[in-house]
Amino acid sequence: MDVLEALFSLLLLAAGVRLSAFFSGTETGFYRISLPRLTIEAQAGDRVAKRLLWFARHPSAFVATTLVGNNLANYLTTFAFSLCLLVFVGELSDLMEVVSVMLFAPVLFMFGELLPKNLYYRASWSLLRRDSTLFTMIYWLLLPASWPLVGVTKLIEKFSPSTGRRTELLLGRSHLVQLMTQGRHEGVLTDVQNRLANGVLQIAPQPIASSMTPANRVLGVSEQASRQEILDYARRFATPVVAIHRARSNEDWFAYVRVVDVSLSKKPVGALYRVMPELSLSSSKLDALQILLVADEVYGVVKSGDRVHGVVSSRGLCEQLFRPVTSAESRDA
């Protein structure tokens, strides 16, 4: 047995297993890495983070490189193992060759797949930083082979833009929730910021009707009520704001008055009325909240045509923004 030939076959086998571990682990680490942290590090001037962020923004290039690299690593490992058998054992029967491959397969799976994936899963940031330069070099080295795969992917996306758009809309919300969760774990978002962002995602598509007080349950008085009647009503129901309805109908709400203004101001009561912004029944909660905040009003009246359906409070909508997200809502997101 030639010593150099045996040494070469062992080194070739080790290189094949190492490459298989490298590409398997890098692929896991890439999908595990925190995108908010990566973006912040890149904006701070970190060159390694900028390099990784480029691959994050061009996933087709990364996937094509790992795909080609994994195949080359497998071919190299297979060739090196066959060479080792020839060098150390010599000619083998078909049965012995199959048995030897079966015995080597668990070793390859353990050190070329399972172990590196677990390591990169647990320490994706540090290991990707360490291997980013090597991966970039391999990317440029394999570019002639990976470029056609990237081109085919872009061609498919070009001829099916609507499908890509629907997928983006479908997955965008879940991806954003995932990013916010990662941001909180990495310390980028505080608990209050995380609850606010999740609250916006939860209430944004919901109709305003689910948060309004029906017209027949609104606490208020007629527009003909006197100053003392308004104060007595506010004292009886312990409310700082009293809604006002038209005299012709007990459910035709159009304004509200603050009790403090009625108590301190000498102006006529009618001059103290604050007209509520009109909100469409089809409006979302987020749209309604934006209208109320821009108008600087605490109440809005929900209408469809001339019919009043109820009254909504900006304070109530804001409280929903900071409401803790339940596990069921997280799954729905």
The identity of residue 179, as a single letter, is L
Is pLDDT of 325 > 70? no
| Structure confidence by residue, pLDDT tens digits, 193-233 | 656 666 666 666 678 888 899 999 998 999 999 999 999 99
What fold does the segment set 208-321 form as a domain?
CBS-domain (3.10.580)
**Residue in this structure with the two tokens 């003392």, named with its chain if needed:** 228
5 — pLDDT class (breaks 50, 70, 90): confident
Mean pLDDT calculated for residue range 92-121: 80
The DSSP call for residue 297 is -
Is pLDDT of 180 > 70? no
User: Vertex 274, ends 273 and 280: CA angle to 5°?
Assistant: 130
Rounded CA-CA distance 9/150 in Å is: 34
User: Vertex 271, ends 269 and 273: CA angle to 5°?
Assistant: 80
Which of 59-63, 165-169, 219-223 is predicted most confidently?
Answer: 219-223
Mean pLDDT calculated for residue range 236-257: 92
Name which residue leads in pLDDT, 90 or 245: 245
Count the helices and strands in the chain (H runs, E runs).
15, 8
Where b means 16+ CB within 10 Å and e means fewer, 227-262 reads eeebeebbeeeeeebbbbbeeeeebbbbbbbbbebb
Is pLDDT of 133 > 60? yes
Query: What are the start-end ranges of the E strands in the chain?
Result: 213-214, 220-222, 241-245, 253-258, 274-275, 278-280, 299-304, 307-313
- Residue 310: phi and psi, rounded to 5, are 170, -170
* Residue 161: predicted pLDDT: 52
Sequence ranges of the domains in the chain: 3-159, 208-321
| pTM exceeds 0.75, yes or no | no
What's the Cα-to-Cα distance from 289 to each of 2, 67, 308, rounded to whole Å?
81, 48, 18
* Residue 186: predicted pLDDT: 54
